[in-house]
Structure 1
Amino acid sequence: MTGYEKSIIIENLLNEKKAIDVKIVDLDGISIIADCFVVATGMNKKHIETLADYCEEALEEKGEKKLRREKSNEWVLIDFGDLIIHIFDQEARTKYSLEDLWSGKLK
């Protein structure tokens, strides 16, 4: 499964689970970090953690292996190699503005 195919699964899941402003950022051809980011906002810390758990479970059920998961009080990052999932609180989403950093590559 490609990073983009994974990102579609995660985008749909996050929307279903009431994440806010879910975006896919296409990094193909411009970065070696990953093929895609999925960026989303959770309503609070518990919601962010729960969304991250759902994302992990959904891809692991499809045989995908997580490389790492990092978290802070405002952000959870899950690295699946060719896909990196970022789930922020609203303040951090605005502060880091990953979509603007990689503008022009939104899907």
Structure 2
Amino acid sequence: MTVEQITKVIYDAIDDKIGQDISIINVGAVSSLCEYFVIATASSQRQVKAIADNVEDELTKLGIEPRGKEGHGAQTWVLLDYGDIMVHIFDEENRGFYNLEKLWKDAPYVDVDTLA
């Protein structure tokens, strides 16, 4: 699978659990950190966990495991590191506080319909 196809699977897994304000940012256009950030908001800590678990489950079905994961304990911001793709699931308060979109404002947004 291509990075773009995996990113689309991640997007769909987030959307399946009613993730809000899903953004895909092409960080690779301005940095060598990774290719894409996928950022989403959940309405509660419970939903943060449910979304993160669903992303992991869907990618595990494809034989793709995260290189690292952070935040499962607090469930206010879960980061899943898939190498070329970093998935950030925030609760509403922390999404606004950390404002990754502003931090990476020079990186272009990607329309999900252009993936895969």
Normalised by the length of structure 2, the TM-score is 0.85
- Alpha-carbon RMSD: 1.3
Q: Letter of the aligned partner of 2:49 in structure 1?
A: E
Matched, 1:100 2:102: yes
- Partner of 1:34: helix, strand, or coil? coil
CA contact (8 A) 2:80 2:86 kept: yes
Q: Letter of the aligned partner of 2:35 in structure 1?
A: D
CA displacement at 1:73 relative to structure 2: 4.3
Normalised by the length of structure 1, the TM-score is 0.91
Aligned residue for 2:58? 58
Which runs of structure 2 are paired with 1:57-76 in the superposition (5 Å)?
57-71=57-71, 72-76=74-78
Larger deviation: 80-89 or 10-19? Answer: 10-19
Q: Letter of the aligned partner of 1:19 in structure 2?
A: G
CA displacement at 1:55 relative to structure 2: 0.3
Larger deviation: 95-104 or 45-54? Answer: 95-104
Aligned residue for 1:85? 87
CA contact (8 A) 1:22 1:39 kept: yes
Distance 1:73 1:65, change over 3 A: closer
Q: Report percent identity of matched pairs.
A: 32
Q: Letter of the aligned partner of 2:59 in structure 1?
A: L
Structure 1 unaligned segments of length 5 or more: list them: none
- Partner of 2:28: helix, strand, or coil? coil
- Partner of 2:47: helix, strand, or coil? helix
- Partner of 1:28: helix, strand, or coil? helix
CA contact (8 A) 2:49 2:75 kept: no
Deviations 1:25-56 (A, max 9, x none): 11123222211010000111111001100001
Aligned length: 107
Structure 2 unaligned segments of length 5 or more: list them: 111-116
- Partner of 1:39: helix, strand, or coil? strand
Distance 1:97 1:64 in 2: 28
CA displacement at 1:4 relative to structure 2: 2.5
Structure number with greater CO (CA < 8 Å, separation at least 6) is: 2
